[in-house]
Amino acid sequence: MRTQVAIIGAGPAGLLLSHLLHLQGIESVVLESRSRAEIESTIRAGVLEQGTMDILTETGVGERMRSEGALHHGIELAFDGARHRIDLTELTGKAITVYPQHEVIKDLVAARLAAQGELLFEVSGVALHGVETSQPSVTFLHGGAECKLEADFIIGCDGYHGVSRPAMPGQGLRKDFQRIYPFGWFGILVESAPSSDELIYARHDRGFALVSTRSPTVQRLYFQCDPSDHTDNWSDDRIWAELHARLENRDGWKLKEGRIFQKNIIGMRSFVSTPMQAGRLFLAGDAAHIVPPTGAKGLNLAVSDVRLLARGLDQFYRQGSEEHLNGYSDEALKRIWRAEYFSWTMTRLLHTFADATPFEREMQRAELENIVSSRALATSLAENYVGAF
C-alpha cells in the first residue's frame, strides 16, 4: 500500500487531519486499533472553542454541531455560597459550544467515508519504520493479513498510550514535562433536564464540582475524588448528597436529579513531550500533550495541531517547501504551553488540595474574588477559555 500521509489513530486529531488533507487534494490513510462502533460510542465531554467551531463549519462538518450542540455565551464560577457569571461573549466577542467529542468523531467518520477516504479499523501490531528517512512506512495486521503502508509522512494521533511517541527517534534527548495531580474526577451521566443554562465551575471545601449540559435530556456532572477510589463505592444517594453539598448556594438554586446511567473516574495530569517532530514523524493531540479537563482544552489543542500540520503539508506538496513543517513544534508549543498554563491555573484555583495550608486556601478564595470583581481579570479568563488569541 502507498499513500502520501499515514495517520495513526482515528480520534478527532487523526480524522480531522485526514479531512483537511482531502480538501487540499492530499491522500491519506487512517489506521485505528478500535472498531468504528467503539470510537463512535466512547462518551467523552466536549467544549468547543470558537476557533474549533469555525473550522468544523468552514470545512463542511459542522451542521450537526450547530443544530444539536449547546451554544454557550458564558460560564459561572461558584464559591462561598454564590454564583458569579463570566460573560464570555460580552468580554471577547466569542462563544463556546458544548458538543460531545464522540459526536465530532461521528461527523468526521461520515465525511471521510462519504469521500471514499481510507479508514482501516481494528488494526493491530502497528510498528513504524524509517521515520528519519524520506520513505517511512508502517506495518500492521488487518483482517488477519500482514500489511505494509508506505508514505511520505507519518502523523501520530494515537493518544498518550499509542505507539507513535515511543517510536520518536532520539528518545534520550527528548524532554517530557509532567504533573500528576493528587485527585481525580468522578463523572456521571444523568437523565434529567438541565440544572443550569451554562457550565458551573464550583469551588468548595469538600472539593471541586462541575455542572455541564450534554443535551435537553442528558446532563454530565463531575466532582473531585480520590483517583484510586472505585465507582462501586458510590451509591446514587451518596453521589447526589455530595453534589448537593458542593453545588447548592444561598440563592435557592437546586441541582436537578435523575437516573444515573454512567459512572467513571478519570485521573488528572498535565503532560507535554517535546519536540513534536523528528524526521518524517509528527505528533498531534494527546500523543504529544495532555491537559487536565478543568480548562476544556484537550480537543481544541488537537484541532490546533492538525490545522498547523495541514498547512505545512499543503505547502510541501504545492511548493516543495518544508518551512512550515520544520517550524511545526515551535509554533504548536506556543499554543500548547498557554493552554497548559490556563488548565493548570483553573485546576489549582478550583480544587481542594489535601496538603494546602489555611493560608493557601484563603488565597484561592481571594483570587476567585479578584477574578469576578475585575473586568480585566475576567477578560483574561474568558479569552483563555474561548481561545481568543
Query: Which residue among 293, 324, 328, 351 is the active-site one?
Result: 293
Residue 209 and residue 173 in contact, taking contact as beta carbons nearer than 8 Å? no
Q: Residue 136's closest CA among 122, 118, 150?
A: 150
Cα separation, 125 vs 354, in Å, equals 42
What gap in Å lies between CA 342 and CA 335, rounded to an integer? 11
Q: Which of 99, 181, 201, 328 is catalytic?
A: 201
Active site residue 169: no
From 181, 222, 328, 385, active-site residue: 385
- 94 carries an active-site annotation: no
Catalytic residue among 94, 106, 289, 297: 297
- Catalytic choice (12, 19, 72, 181): 72
Distance CA 153, CA 151 (A): 5
- State the CB neighbour count (10 A cutoff) for residue 278: 18
Q: Facing residues of 272 across strands? A: 177, 289
**Gap between the Cα atoms of 177 and 170, Å rounded:** 16
Q: Give one DSSP letter per residue of 298-359, joined into a string.
A: HHHHHHHHHHHHHHHHHHHHHH---HHHHTHHHHHHHHHHHHHHHHHHHHHHHSPPTT--HH
Segment holding 367, helix H or strand E:
helix 358-373
Is 297 considered catalytic here? yes
Task: List the catalytic residues.
Answer: 72, 201, 293, 297, 385
